[in-house]
Structure 1
Amino acid sequence: MTTYSIVLGRERHVFQDLKSVLACASPLKSGDVLAGIAASSNERRVAARYLLADMPLKTFLEDLVIPYEIDEVSRLIVDRHDWMAFASVSHMTVGEFRDWLLSYDATSEKLLAIAPGLTPEMVAAVSKIMRNHDLITVAGKCRVVTAFRSTIGLPGRLSSRLQPNHPTDDPEGVAGSTLDGLLYGIGDAVIGINPATDNLEACTRLMVLFDRLRERFEIPTQSCVLTHVTTSIKAIEAGAPLDLVFQSIAGSEAANKGFGVDLAVLREGQQAALSMKRGTVGNNVMYLETGQGSALSADAHHGVDEQTIETRAYAVARELNPLLVNTVVGFIGPEYLFDAKQIIRAGLEDHFCGKVLGVPMGVDVCYTNHAEADQDDMDNLMVLLTVAGVSFLIAVPGADDVMLNYQSLSYHDIVGLRHQFNRPPAPEFEAWLHRMGMLDHTGRLAPASASGAFSRNLLSYRASA
């Protein structure tokens, strides 16, 4: 174990190990305070950032924050590291890497090429010495493109997840929320529901509902019932029309065990979904969710700060070649991200780190009602993420998830962002919206009279759901 120290002003700051440097360099997070690992003062935080800035990137390959022997995520990070991709930046310190990322030389093509050579800890470290605008600038240059029935992550586009959650999984309520979202042009990333119950029969019923809707209207998108990966495997074995396998993941073996998974079962889920061969324009079959604070809440963070352990989850995601990954940034609560400032920073960090590591990153711009945040704060974050080139955002009816009891974005928020920033949905979905008469010649939502026939068809489908 290496001890790190630096003299700042008249005081020498000593850090017992690398993970202590990373924790103290982090912007203030209530979760790190709760864990007892946050910097005790702003001076100590600055000292840790000075240390990080001068630290060679190679350090993170030699000094692991969680030992290789006790953690399969650490083993994955080390064993999958691509030395050839790392070569072009291997001589850099963290500070030099930051300067390069912000330079004209760091093009989209070069960022994509070096991604396999970067470890989560390298990327987390550089994010800690970057301002919000730095995170936005670099993430905006990253291109991570994936596909199943629609293509996600193309430059200049903004995709969306349609989230029609219902407290009892009532088919009428789910269908109504889904059709409402489709009329707003939402759902090109996925129509994804968090089921109120995780049993196989209920989940299969929802899969059938979404598949019949997709087939009836020939919608070029994919659906996902966000049940446990083992339930998805059982559904596939039973012949259910499953598109994407979902799972929440984290950045340590112990935290993933808390979710009831390990790398082997995740790979099994991926292979099961691939065997279905349901994609038309691609074969990315996994949908993964993360969020700062999950490892801490499971007491499975090994003393690593919540942002670094979160970034390690993206190594797990990268291994599974997913269609979609998103951080549910404010969902876990104020114990981990206390207020809007912390939520906004975490959303930008997660998006930056995911994209630089080559992960198709989206964000659930959200908060719980006991956090010090409101919808105006979420407006700020959704605009910042759109500028940063986020792959997709999540939307729920009225911005209020009546099943999970938290606040997110609404369908019309996505419409507003697309119009304001000229960010149409995935090209296959955009073409479908035109065919259905739901977009006018400028790409805006068509007047109700123009899409009236389709609206009536949707309503008749709801009535028969």
Structure 2
Amino acid sequence: MKLTVSLLGESYLFHDLKELFAKANEEKSGDQLAGIAASDDRERMAAKLVLADLTLADIRSHPLLPPETDEVSRVIEEGVDEAVYETIRSWTVGELREQLLAASDTELRRIGRGLNSEMAAAAAKLMSNLDLIQAAAKCEVITRCNTTLGERGRLGSRAQPNHPTDDPLGMKASIYEALSYGIGDAVIGINPVIDTTDNILRLLHETKEVIHRWSIPTQNSVLAHVTTQMRAISKGAPADLIFQSLAGTQSGNDSFGINLRLLQEADQLIRESGTASGENRWYFETGQGSELSAGGHHGVDQLTLESRCYGLAKVFKPFLVNTVVGFIGPEYLYDSKQVIRAGLEDHFMGKIQGIPMGVDVCYTNHMKADQNDMDNLAVLLAAAGVNFFIGVPMADDCMLNYQSTSFHDIATVRELLRLQPGAEFSAWAEQMGILKNGRLTALAGDPTLFI
């Protein structure tokens, strides 16, 4: 395995794949904080040149985190389709990029089954933003909970009716406003302030009551820690989906208070006691930089670790996965350029691994980014076929204190690119008079429809 190259009269040596992967990454403040980033653009380009000539077998034979010491690595390895892998193992990463861009939709999905998460990350490092959009747009990943998500020509949305005190009236007001804009077909999902069993039980009942009262074709979720949700479900809480944040390393997941065995127990519980009718019953969230913030990155770059999150998620056949791309802050993604790049990377890496990928197009107020930057990213991701966005009132989450996409932002992107909500939800919205022939009516934005 050759890890050296001469570029413009200068020789570059990379000591192992971990160093090579990190330095082939586009500029990220998180990699700089970890002390693993390329020192300049020349070294970054040298790393990309070396990476492009490595074979997929080289990457698989030299794991960045050995399966013997990391259970996420073991899950990823077990998820590779060996028959497909044998047909592509001799490809270089450069050839993989070319094949992904040239392949038909069916062939691209076949190739994806033979990749592990590090291979998907390697391809992303060699791609331009347009490459990431083009390849991802060919990956249709359809899942079903109570409704169907991911079909072409449709853009799903999560209604995120958070409230700083978990007040039920405040949350219902937000839900009704979201519904009036055609938002909430992917999930009505609440981030709770109070992570107790009784509160999660109450919130799941509150959201399910709204869904039943108005016969809304959607699903509910409360984004508490998985153990709190498990206790609530065991006490009879009506949960369609079970939620958990994921990291790309075992030690990163330790910091979240989870491991593979716990996730397997939760999976069994939601399948036995959940209220959904479909087979896809998980909602996962991720984000570049979480492993570094937990001290569990092991010298691996944040893009590669993010890809590993999707390799872990895949085994549970999730209904929804989204990267909360700009939420962690400027320590990991410094400005809008880095946030936009990371959003496109994450969406591509998830989709190529068969993940129903959404993106929380977001930023925090201490980043060098603004709402115009998020508008740009939202349009790019919608063109790339993203499964869903997050909708919050006026794009400002009053509980989590960060900026995301508003209900009307998502509605505007749908209108711009001739997209609709999920099929079942669209039919319901037409019956309610919110949509007519797929377009919002004059009733849009009026929450009193539900009062």
Q: TM-score range by the shorter chain?
A: over 0.9
Deviation string 1:97-148 (CA, Å, 9 cap, x unpaired) is: 1111111xx1221222232211110010011111000000000000110011
Q: Which residue of 2 aligns with 1:339?
A: 335
Find out whether 1:251 has 2:248 as its counterpart: yes
Given that residues 291 and 327 in structure 1 are in contact (C-alpha distance below 8 angstroms), is that contact kept between their aligned partners in structure 2? yes
Partner Cα separation in structure 2 for residue 111 and residue 4 of structure 1: 28
Q: Which residue of 1 aligns with 2:68?
A: 69
Q: Which residue of 2 aligns with 1:463?
A: none
Q: Which amino acid aligns with 2:450?
A: L
Q: Which residue of 2 aligns with 1:458?
A: 450
**TM-aligned CA deviation for residue 418 of structure 1:** 0.8
**TM-aligned CA deviation for residue 65 of structure 1:** 0.3
Q: Percent same amino acid among aligned pairs?
A: 52
**TM-aligned CA deviation for residue 179 of structure 1:** 0.6
Find out whether 1:219 has 2:211 as its counterpart: no
Q: Which residue of 2 aligns with 1:348?
A: 344
Q: Which amino acid aligns with 1:166?
A: H
Q: Secondary structure of 1:69's partner?
A: coil
> Against the structure 1 CA distance between its residues 313 and 451, is the aligned structure 2 distance closer, same or farther, given a 3 Å change threshold?
closer
Given that residues 3 and 18 in structure 1 are in contact (C-alpha distance below 8 angstroms), is that contact kept between their aligned partners in structure 2? no
**TM-aligned CA deviation for residue 277 of structure 1:** 5.1
Q: Residue 438 of structure 2 is aligned with which of 424, 440, 443? A: 443
1:39-438 residue pairs with structure 2 within 5 A? 39-103=38-102, 106-276=103-273, 278-280=275-277, 282-438=278-434
Q: Which amino acid aligns with 1:353?
A: M
Deviation string 1:205-228 (CA, Å, 9 cap, x unpaired) is: 110100011011111100100011
Deviation string 1:236-289 (CA, Å, 9 cap, x unpaired) is: 110111111000001000000110001111111111111125223x22000000
**TM-aligned CA deviation for residue 52 of structure 1:** 0.7
Given that residues 156 and 389 in structure 2 are in contact (C-alpha distance below 8 angstroms), is that contact kept between their aligned partners in structure 1? yes
Deviates more, 1:83-92 or 1:217-226: 83-92
Gaps of 5+ in 1: 460-465
* Stretches (4+) displaced over 3 A: none
Partner Cα separation in structure 2 for residue 275 and residue 8 of structure 1: 58
> Against the structure 1 CA distance between its residues 446 and 207, is the aligned structure 2 distance closer, same or farther, given a 3 Å change threshold?
same
Partner Cα separation in structure 2 for residue 339 and residue 206 of structure 1: 35
**TM-score (norm. length: structure 2):** 0.98
Q: Which residue of 2 aligns with 1:462?
A: none
Q: Secondary structure of 1:166's partner?
A: coil
Q: Secondary structure of 2:237's partner?
A: coil
Q: Secondary structure of 1:394's partner?
A: strand
Given that residues 247 and 289 in structure 1 are in contact (C-alpha distance below 8 angstroms), is that contact kept between their aligned partners in structure 2? yes
Deviates more, 1:61-70 or 1:403-412: 61-70
Given that residues 2 and 50 in structure 2 are in contact (C-alpha distance below 8 angstroms), is that contact kept between their aligned partners in structure 1? no
Deviates more, 1:51-60 or 1:85-94: 85-94
**TM-aligned CA deviation for residue 11 of structure 1:** 1.5
**TM-aligned CA deviation for residue 456 of structure 1:** 4.4
Gaps of 5+ in 2: none
Q: Secondary structure of 1:186's partner?
A: coil
Q: Secondary structure of 1:58's partner?
A: helix
**TM-aligned CA deviation for residue 457 of structure 1:** 5.2
Given that residues 436 and 451 in structure 1 are in contact (C-alpha distance below 8 angstroms), is that contact kept between their aligned partners in structure 2? no
Given that residues 139 and 389 in structure 1 are in contact (C-alpha distance below 8 angstroms), is that contact kept between their aligned partners in structure 2? yes
Q: Which amino acid aligns with 2:336?
A: A
Deviation string 1:46-74 (CA, Å, 9 cap, x unpaired) is: 11000011110111210000122110011
